[in-house]
Amino acid sequence: MYRSILNEQETEHAIKLIKDTFQINLATALHLRRVTAPLFVKSGLGLNDNLSGTEHPVSFVIKSTGECAEIVHSLAKWKRVKLGEMQAQPGYGLYTDMNAIRAEETLDELHSLYVDQWDWCCVIRPEERTMKTLQRFVKLIYQAIKNTEYIVSEHYAEIHPILPDDITLFSSEELLQRYPNLSSKDRENKICQEYGAVFITSIGGKLSNGERHDLRAPDYDDWRLNGDILVWYEPLGCVVELSSMGIRVNADSLHSQLMIEGHLDWEKRMYQQMVLNNQLPSTIGGGIGQSRLCMILLHKLHIGEIQVSIWPDEMIEDCQNRGINLLR
């Protein structure tokens, strides 16, 4: 039976240690300033993250104004607007604690109704919208993760580092050519099991076989210049996505991707109009899962050992039978 290395009280202390340590490491590496973020935004402005483009946000009517608001999925677009308001210069950015509800999520050891992540965004020059820039940020973020893992191992003698020293980069097309007979998810598992930590680039557009590696909304990441940080997690025998990130769309890539998806009507929305009229800075940004990072660094088997959420009765019973203590 599974036995957690840390008990519940020790786990709570360790969660704080990880969160405090990592955000300092991240802010220092990327030159980020912390800001306060919204839990909800007005509907219809195009500010909410559409994720894969199919999810529906939790929404409600504001009694005082009669307007409709929706819980954020993430802050991909809001951050860029905020940086424009701050008049942040290239090489500097922001980060924030993002809390969200994703009501359509399929619940398992890694997926919860409640999402908590560090949302970050940094201003870059238009000429820096390149794969080289994306790779540089990926390596800085991964090093911040590794530094945090080391601090955890220094505080808790029974917890040893398990992540590889370096992260390896592959494009989604390279994975297809390498494993042409596997599904995209199986390709991720195969490459992560071999390398331990990988960054898969260029997610959203169609590959040479006419399929997509994964879905991405067309109006925040440039599909040519984005990707996911994935690690192999042996205790669960699967890939864990720690971060999704990318260089944000400019006017050309936004129009092109909206046309591909048949969503040119989105161009009438406030945020999309700001991008098309070059009213926002060029940026790179993403989200890093707080509970997932804590889960990996503390060698837990279920994200519910890190955060309080709602789980199906059969999952709660199964966890109890396996010695997994879900926080409540």
In this structure, is residue 194 part of a structural domain?
yes
- Calculate the alpha carbon distances from 322 to 7, 110, 155, 156, 254 in Å: 15, 16, 27, 24, 47
In this structure, is residue 110 part of a structural domain?
yes
Residue 290 to residue 295: CA distance in whole angstroms = 9
CATH number at residue 242: 3.30.930.10
Helix axes 131-155, 8-30, angle to 10 degrees: 140
In this structure, is residue 326 part of a structural domain?
no
In this structure, is residue 61 part of a structural domain?
yes
Point out the residues that are catalytic: 49, 102, 117, 228, 241, 244
In this structure, is residue 91 part of a structural domain?
yes
In this structure, is residue 327 part of a structural domain?
no
In this structure, is residue 129 part of a structural domain?
yes
Angle at 121 between CA 117 and CA 122, to 5 degrees: 150
Residue 127 to residue 80: CA distance in whole angstroms = 17
Bridge partners for 247 per DSSP: 284
**pLDDT number for residue 49:** 75
- Let me know how long the chain is: 328
**pLDDT number for residue 134:** 98
Q: Which domain holds residue 311?
A: 8-320
**pLDDT number for residue 54:** 67
Residues of the chain short of pLDDT 50, as ranges, are none
- Whole-model pTM over 0.85: yes
Pairing of strands 197-201, 283-289: unpaired
In this structure, is residue 328 part of a structural domain?
no
**pLDDT number for residue 104:** 87
Q: What is the DSSP letter of 226?
A: E
**pLDDT number for residue 88:** 97
Burial of 121 (0-12, 13-18, 19+ CB in 10 A): buried
H-type helices in the chain, by residue range? 8-30, 76-86, 131-155, 172-178, 184-195, 251-261, 270-276, 290-297, 313-322
Question: What is the number of domains present in the chain?
Answer: 1
Task: Give the distance, in angstroms, between the CA of residue 142 and the centroid of all CA atoms in the same chain.
Answer: 13
